[in-house]
Amino acid sequence: MSTPHIALFDASVGDTPAERNFRRELDATVTTFKTSEGEFPEWPGADGSWAYDGAVISGSQTSVYEHEPWMATLAELVRDLHELGVPMLGVCWGHQFLAQALGGCVADMGEYELGYRRIERYDESPLFEGMPAEFVAFETHSDEVLRLPPGGSELAGNDQSCQAFAVGMTFGVQFHPEYDLETARMVTERKREEGVPDERIDAVLADATPDRYAEAAAATDVFDNFLAVVERTRDQGIATVED
């Protein structure tokens, strides 16, 4: 059985650790496209074939409702891939982008959800196979999915926002299972420039310890579970998966 080939759509702006973090966590062949700079793979063929077995969309410093030209191109591509049943996983911004592109609604929360937070699973899903009913993951977002796409189901959440959804073979997670401790600290520190109060930044940094990072390790299982969906879909040659 061959290793899955994943297209990573890096929506982060500028020089970020996004690609490094995803490559570390994805046990797959990964080809990266810096979509925020207009890099895209070839479109699926007329027969529905595509060069990749699945796609992952990273986080970004932008908002999905800014409607940059590259976002319009990415939205067109992910709608085509979704229609073809290609498995996709969006993380943070990617979660919001997939929801919006497929007919959901994303809006400003008016505040940041920031730091290591507890998340509760609401529904059984292959994305959370073998994971605990509650787990910890790092969060950094000020937008949220307010309305799921038609046919979507909310898989996880907390007291602030929808934390995961699925619609067909498309999945989104609001949290950052790919973050290492260095990234969590760097992203938190940069929130000072966005007006987040120093006392809140300091509290999140104080909580960003090796023990908390280890506690969040369970969240990385979503990557192995997603790749299992990718392999099952590729090997069966069908665009469905049983929960």
CA distances 20 to 9, 39, 202, Å, are 13, 17, 26
Q: How far apart are CA 92 and CA 8, in angstroms?
A: 14
Give the angle subtended at the CA of 164 by the CAs of 159 and 166, to the nearest 5°: 145
- DSSP of 54-113: EEEE---SS-GGG--HHHHHHHHHHHHHHHHT--EEEETHHHHHHHHHTT-EEEEEEEEE
Secondary structure class of 197 (helix, strand, coil): coil
Structure tokens that stand for 140 in this block: 């950094």
Q: How far apart are CA 86 and CA 88, in angstroms?
A: 6
Active site residues: 92, 176, 178
